[in-house]
Structure 1
Amino acid sequence: MSTTQVYRIWIKSTPEKIWAAITDPEWNARYGYGAPQFYELRKGGRFHSTATQEMKDYATANNFTMADTIADGEILEVDPPRRLVQTWRMLMDPTTAAEPFTTLTYDIEDVTHGVCRLTITHELTDAPAHAALVQGTTEPGAEGGGGWAWVLSDLKSLLETGARLTD
């Protein structure tokens, strides 16, 4: 099965600020699901994301174990502040952890007058659980189910207003 999902958003910001918000754990822990992401920004470098205490507490309260590393991958291409290509795999769930690595591409384009277009392309070949996860859900009350659309919306809000969607 070959699936590619593309998400695009326009942000009133600079490529450098968007790049930092994606790759700097001080920034990326402030939006989306709040889990810091760490990048070795070189070809072949490591990517990983760690569980927050809130995630671990939720797991404990619901009788399951939360791994310290909740996502991992490898950097395939780095062109700051324009393009980042990496492999990506979610480890929080046994189903996604058993699937092959997927490929995630961030493209940042300076469009006009201080506005940038951020495009996320997620290639999800043979990874149906990942595809469902990152697509998100529109069901009311689906905690943590917003996928890439939620992450991008929260990133945009943070960069443009200084506040998260949930603040």
Structure 2
Amino acid sequence: MTTTTDVTTQVYRVYINAPAQKIWDTITTPEWNRRYGYGAPQFYELKPGGAYRATASDAMNDYHRAHGLPELDTIGDGEILECDPPRRLVQTWRMLMDPTTAAEPFTTLTYEIAEVPAQPGVHRLTVVHDVTGAPATAALTGGSLEDTGAGGGWPWVLSDLKSLIETGKGFTA
């Protein structure tokens, strides 16, 4: 007999040798967040009740045009629930570019940035993604669909973010 346990909360942690404000800005400003992960510019209205919107990158639309698919505009959306710069950001999150994830409920995404006490200047970025009721989103963000071409999820995004901040170059730069 096989039993399946649905993961409802994903937790990822990365240590970055940079000030908290630099990490915050890299997450929340399109000038920076378009340079890592999947290259999708993300826009935040940084106040409770504010909007979150991720837009398609040029590379995403190049791929769509090359495969006869319609161009994309907004690929993700949500609402800011908590905002305490540069320490904590909580938002709802939904991926719209796939019909299956778009049909799922909003998930809750939390970014926490804290200095490592024993290593001044080094900060721990923790991402907690509550994907309750959203199994397709969980598979996508967990990276389990990487071999199908869907990307490496949060592990990829956070590794690329760290590389960009510490070296000035992301994986695809």
Name 2:138's counterpart in structure 1. 131
Deviation at 1:63, TM superposition (A): 3.0
Deviation at 1:138, TM superposition (A): 7.6
Larger of the two Rg values belongs to structure: 2
Contact 1:25–1:38, Cα closer than 8 Å, also in 2: yes
Matched, 1:50 2:55: yes
Deviations 1:21-50 (A, max 9, x none): 000110101111111000000000000010
* Superposed counterparts of 1:15-94, under 5 Å: 15-94=20-99
Name 2:152's counterpart in structure 1. 146
Give the 3-state SS of the residue equivalent to 1:129 in structure 2: helix
Q: Are the structure 2 counterparts of residues 88 and 139 from structure 1 closer, same or farther at C-alpha, using a change threshold of 3 Å? A: closer
Deviation at 1:98, TM superposition (A): 0.4
Q: Are the structure 2 counterparts of residues 138 and 56 from structure 1 closer, same or farther at C-alpha, using a change threshold of 3 Å? A: closer
**Within 1, Cα distance between the matches of 2:9 and 2:39?**
25
**Within 2, Cα distance between the matches of 1:97 and 1:12?**
35
- Runs of 4+ residues deviating >3 angstroms: 137-140
Structure 2, gaps ≥5 residues long: 1-5
Deviation at 1:65, TM superposition (A): 2.4
**Within 2, Cα distance between the matches of 1:39 and 1:138?**
27
Contact 1:33–1:144, Cα closer than 8 Å, also in 2: no
Deviation at 1:145, TM superposition (A): 1.3
Structure 2 counterpart of 1:16, one-letter code = Q
Q: Are the structure 2 counterparts of residues 2 and 165 from structure 1 closer, same or farther at C-alpha, using a change threshold of 3 Å? A: closer
Q: Are the structure 2 counterparts of residues 52 and 138 from structure 1 closer, same or farther at C-alpha, using a change threshold of 3 Å? A: closer
| Alignment RMSD | 1.5
Give the 3-state SS of the residue equivalent to 1:122 in structure 2: strand
Contact 1:99–1:126, Cα closer than 8 Å, also in 2: yes
Contact 2:36–2:170, Cα closer than 8 Å, also in 1: yes
TM-score by length of 2: 0.91
The one of 112, 115, 120 equivalent to 1:113 is 120
TM-score by length of 1: 0.94
Structure 1, gaps ≥5 residues long: none
> Percent of aligned pairs with the same residue?
64
Deviation at 1:124, TM superposition (A): 0.4
Deviation at 1:122, TM superposition (A): 0.2
Deviations 1:44-81 (A, max 9, x none): 00000100121012112223224300000000000000
The count of aligned residue pairs is: 166
